[in-house]
Amino acid sequence: MNVLITGSGGFVGKRLVVALNKKGHKIKEFSRELEMDVRDAKQAREAVKGIDAVVHLAAELDENSPDLFSINVDGTKNFLEASTKAGVGKFIHLSSCGVMGKLKGRANEKTPVNPETKYEESKAKAEKAVLSYQEIMPVMVLRSALVYGNNKYWRKIVRFIQRGFPLVGGGKNSWQMIYVNDLVSAIAFAIDREESSGEIYIVAEDGGKKLRAVYEIIYQELGIKKTVGSIPYPVAKILSYFSLLKSKILGGKTILTPAHVKRVVRERNYSIEKIKKLGWKPKYSTEQGIKEMLKEMKEEKLIG
């Protein structure tokens, strides 16, 4: 098929381009790196010409960006409208499990949408827009768990751990993620499914671990011999405000923000039975994914 990937220059997008090329699809890229803007209606109309399927990955992740809603919501609506007019055969939207907000127990696709952060709210509104088109065009929403792999965000986390930054809270909360290669696999799988129009699917690793166990796996792979230390959530929250203030004074960004600390102690426990019944299942366990991630970082000399 002729497939358009928005956000093709991003962490997931780059890998998806390679994966779909290997499957024989013809890929058209749309990204900031190519000086393209999802909010530009003219660019959107040009991009979807002759396209069979759109995979909409483009998103603003920065909670403090003034463009958060215009990119994540208006940009999505822009491509939905352009895709409809161009007769696109399928629109796959990458969303986030974060739209369900704070969880109690195991979440599934019927769990109410209850976003807590601005980013989650923007993704929830984008989801709603996508599903509103299901009578006009085949659409699908993939709700991804927290994606991990060799990117800037996870390199910072690994360096924090190497420097001895402790675990926030007791680490007893479920911490179900998805390795980036598995997410790419799920998207590539979804492109070929005809019976899934108008559906939401949660994509995540199978089962997952507790947060403390994730830390321990990273410790083991990095050869850190000491036991995992911990810091109470209220103390971590105070430290995060100081870290945020420091970053604003000195410039740059920090991952130790109040919002980040709050997300660390969340429950991340998801059922993936729906997409497994469709025929997809993850390849990587937490241990395998972390091992691959750290191997890439070491090979590229991005961590010690």
Distance CA 23, CA 271 (A): 28
Stretch 47-74: mean pLDDT, rounded? Answer: 96
**Residue type for 47, please?**
A
Residue 264, pLDDT score: 87
Classify residue 23 by burial, with Cβ atoms within 10 Å: 0-12, 13-18, 19+. exposed
Contact yes or no for 300/150 (Cβ under 8 A): yes
Determine what percent of the chain is predicted with pLDDT higher than 70: 99
Residue with the larger pLDDT of the pair 262 and 43: 43
Ordered by start, the domain boundaries in the chain are 2-145+177-205+269-283
φ, ψ (nearest 5 deg) of residue 125: -70, -35
Q: Euclidean distance between the first and final Cα of the chain, in Å?
A: 42
Q: Is the pLDDT of residue 23 over 90?
A: yes
Q: Is the pLDDT of residue 137 over 80?
A: yes
* Residue 176 pLDDT class (50, 70, 90 cuts): very high
CATH topology of domain 2-145+177-205+269-283: Rossmann fold (3.40.50)
Distance CA 43, CA 49 (A): 10
Residue with the larger pLDDT of the pair 280 and 303: 280
pLDDT tens digits, 180-206: 999 999 999 999 887 788 999 999 999
